[in-house]
Amino acid sequence: MKAIFRSLSLAAMLALGTQAQAQLPAGSLAPNFTFTDINGTSHTLYDILATGKTVFIDVSAAWCGPCWNYHNTGALEDLYINHGPMGAPNVSATTTNDVMVLFIEGEQDNTAAQLTGTSGAGVLSSQGDWVAGTPYPIIDLPTDATGNSFMSGYAIGYFPTIYKICPNRIIEEPGQQSAANLYAMVAPCPGPATQAVDATILNYLGDSYACGNQMDVSLTFQNHGTAALTGATVTLTDGLGATIATQPVAGSVASYDVATVNFGTVTVPAGTTSVVATINAAGDAVPTDNTLTQALGSIMNAPYDNNFDATLNADYVIEDVGNDGVSWGQVGIGAGGSAASVFMFFYNSPDLQVDNFYIPKTSMVSSTASIARVTWNRAAAQYTDANTPLTNDKVEFQVSTDCGATWNTLWEKVGADLATRAGTSSNYGGTTVPVAAADWIGDTVMLTQYLGEAEMLMRFKATSNYGNNAFFDNVNIELLNGVAIEDAKNVTDFKVYPNPTVNVANVSFNLVDASDVTVEVFNSNGQSVYTAAQGKMGVGTQSVSINTTEFAAGVYMVNVRSNGQSISQLLNVAK
């Protein structure tokens, strides 16, 4: 089930300046609000949080089909009845009394009639009666400055937006989850501030790798005390307790406020595997939340294989650039029936959000290899429904040899080129549209130009078009020696001739089993200069001709892919 990006009213456009696509970043401080529901009861967010309750807000529109679908799942209804405020109407007598649910009708151009199912045109249309059977409070957002302030303060970019706000006023967006999943998010929430001094580190924002023993470090913390916080310092140590740097907290931080401490570039001891940040404030009553440990990635020596079957350790870094809480993850779906892969959750990622998945920092030093490449398996789908054209999510494979200061894109797929199966309106990889064995294909990128690099970063960069999911498995970093490399069991008798060539190169091979075949050519920078999908080819000898007239003089890699495996050979082009 998808959300619908909202069409902003004129008043909202004036308030926001532009159409917002990203929601409030996870870890932000939720703005306070006071609204009166349709039954005349006033609700102030901070007052509710002060009672120790976690607040879930559903910002929807009466005309929004996906909002209506989620509303009718009863997830928020069950959450409220079983965990809502003790003694409130419709709440169970056995409630856990630790949750509040608020429905906020966020389409400011409609009227109150749409909440009860009165239908007109456009924003005055309605999916049905939102009031009947709804046990939790319903707020029809006013069209005045307070309503505009809510929409801008909460960066509402699409309907429905589901937020969770902990009693410490910190927000995140869990999305359209079941009641059980939502309630599981309540227990980890810190309570309201009760001590005069309580500094709490929230998030690490710095580098996940030390390049040449240098790394940038920053973090956020919250004053979880009832009094203003002054005179605090943050100390950064290595995993053995040696001090790396100390940074004072500037100025005074009000109760509940979130602030950033920036260490800038620091030097860490060689071999450091983690850094520990500790905030120190005189009289801190809760020292257990003063410390955060950040594991640092180590250097892997190529060749190695990333099959993702084991739990991802600190060497695998996920970077949620937009900090929207939706990013890469590990899932129990793998190529060839393997145990797991990594996937980008495009299905719930707002448009234009960027998320990076880093494989371990790699040493490409070798005394014997003459060829290097990376291969992987991929499965992906586009999103489409009756009202949405096929979406165009993008994934790039990038490398950096200067600690991430600059990146070189070696592979890029967008939309239909990224997809390996037909588009769907369902959550690809879920129970209704599983990842089938036939969805997986293989990709190859040449890395020969990077042989000898002592520290190289590699990542998949995902740019969302609010589409559907993409899965990656078996990311294999290979160092190879020799002219012909044969690891595709289905391909034998592989030849590229004439070699050297000027205008035409012939690729000849034998297929053991009929299969889909793709022929690719990569230049010395690892970039694809020729790709030709041959479709399904039969058993026996096959031949493909490649026009090299436009190729610059140099060394190229000819690659044939079959059944998710590949076979490669060097080709010299002379001019």
Domain-located, residue 142: yes
Which CATH number does the domain housing residue 286 bear?
2.60.40.10
25 lies in the same domain as 158: yes
Which CATH number does the domain housing residue 63 bear?
3.40.30.10
The residue with greater pLDDT, 85 or 3, is 85
Domain-located, residue 165: yes
Domain-located, residue 251: yes
Out of 153, 184, 215, a domain closes at 184
Domain-located, residue 283: yes
The pLDDT value recorded for residue 487 is 52
Measured distance CA(466)–CA(352) in Å, rounded? 8
Please list, residue by residue across 149-158, b when 16 or more beta carbons sit within 10 angstroms of its beta carbon and e when fewer do: ebbbebbbbb
How many domains are contained in the chain? Answer: 4
Measured distance CA(575)–CA(571) in Å, rounded? 13
Helix (H, G, I), strand (E, B) or coil at 158: strand
The DSSP call for residue 273 is -
23 lies in the same domain as 57: yes
- Region of 495 on the Ramachandran plot (φ > 0 left; ψ -120 to 50 alpha; else beta): beta
361 lies in the same domain as 440: yes
What pTM, to 2 d.p., does this model score?
0.69
CB 511 within 8 A of CB 539: yes
Measured distance CA(340)–CA(309) in Å, rounded? 5
Q: What is the mean pLDDT of residues 351-368?
A: 91
Which CATH number does the domain housing residue 567 bear?
2.60.40.2550
Q: Looking at the DSSP assignment, which residues form a beta bridge with residue 497?
A: 506
Tokens found for residue 531? 């790709």
Out of 184, 210, 236, a domain closes at 184
The pLDDT value recorded for residue 4 is 55
412 lies in the same domain as 544: no
- Strands in 565-573's sheet, in edge-to-edge order, are 484-486, 565-573, 554-562, 515-522, 528-537
6 pLDDT above the threshold of 60: no
Domain-located, residue 192: no
Give the model confidence (pLDDT) of 428-473 as tens digits. Answer: 998 889 999 889 988 888 898 899 998 899 999 999 999 999 999 9
Domain-located, residue 191: no
Q: Looking at the DSSP assignment, which residues form a beta bridge with residue 536?
A: 516
Domain-located, residue 190: no
Alpha helices in 113-209 (DSSP H): 145-153, 179-184
482 pLDDT above the threshold of 60: no
Q: What is the 3-state secondary structure (H, E, C) of 353-409?
A: CEEEEEEEEEECCCCCCCEEEEEEEEEECCECECCECCCCCEEEEEEECCCCCCCEE
Least confidently predicted of 14-28, 331-345, 408-422, 515-529:
14-28
Domain-located, residue 194: no
Least confidently predicted of 8-17, 30-39, 521-530, 565-574:
8-17
413 lies in the same domain as 508: no
Residue 392: domain span: 300-480
DSSP codes, 437-452: GGG-EEEEEE-GGGTT
Q: Ranked by mean pLDDT, which of 112-116, 213-217, 358-362, 396-400 comes out on top?
A: 396-400
Give the model confidence (pLDDT) of 99-131 as tens digits. Answer: 999 999 999 888 889 999 988 888 889 999 999
Q: Cα torsion for 106, 462, 325, 306, to the nearest 10°?
A: 150
Query: Which residues, including other chains, have CB under 8 Å from residue 548's CB and lie 6 or more apart?
Result: 501, 502, 503, 504, 505, 573
409 lies in the same domain as 385: yes
495 lies in the same domain as 473: no
Hey, which bits of 106-256 come out as E strands?
138-140, 158-159, 161-165, 170-172, 199-204, 214-223, 233-238, 243-248
Please list, residue by residue across 223-239, b when 16 or more beta carbons sit within 10 angstroms of its beta carbon and e when fewer do: bbbeeebeebebbbbbb
* Strands 54-60 and 99-105, bridge-based pairing: parallel
How would residue 212 be classed by pLDDT, with cut points 50, 70 and 90?
Answer: confident
51 lies in the same domain as 157: yes
Give the model confidence (pLDDT) of 7-43 as tens digits. Answer: 333 223 222 222 233 467 888 999 999 999 999 999 9
How would residue 196 be classed by pLDDT, with cut points 50, 70 and 90?
Answer: very high
The residue with greater pLDDT, 315 or 116, is 116
Helix (H, G, I), strand (E, B) or coil at 222: strand
The pLDDT value recorded for residue 87 is 96
Out of 421, 448, 480, a domain closes at 480
141 lies in the same domain as 247: no
Tokens found for residue 383? 């999103």
Helix (H, G, I), strand (E, B) or coil at 71: helix
435 lies in the same domain as 555: no
The pLDDT value recorded for residue 564 is 66
117 lies in the same domain as 97: yes
Q: Looking at the DSSP assignment, which residues form a beta bridge with residue 36?
A: 42
471 lies in the same domain as 489: no
- Residue indicated by tokens 């349709």: 38
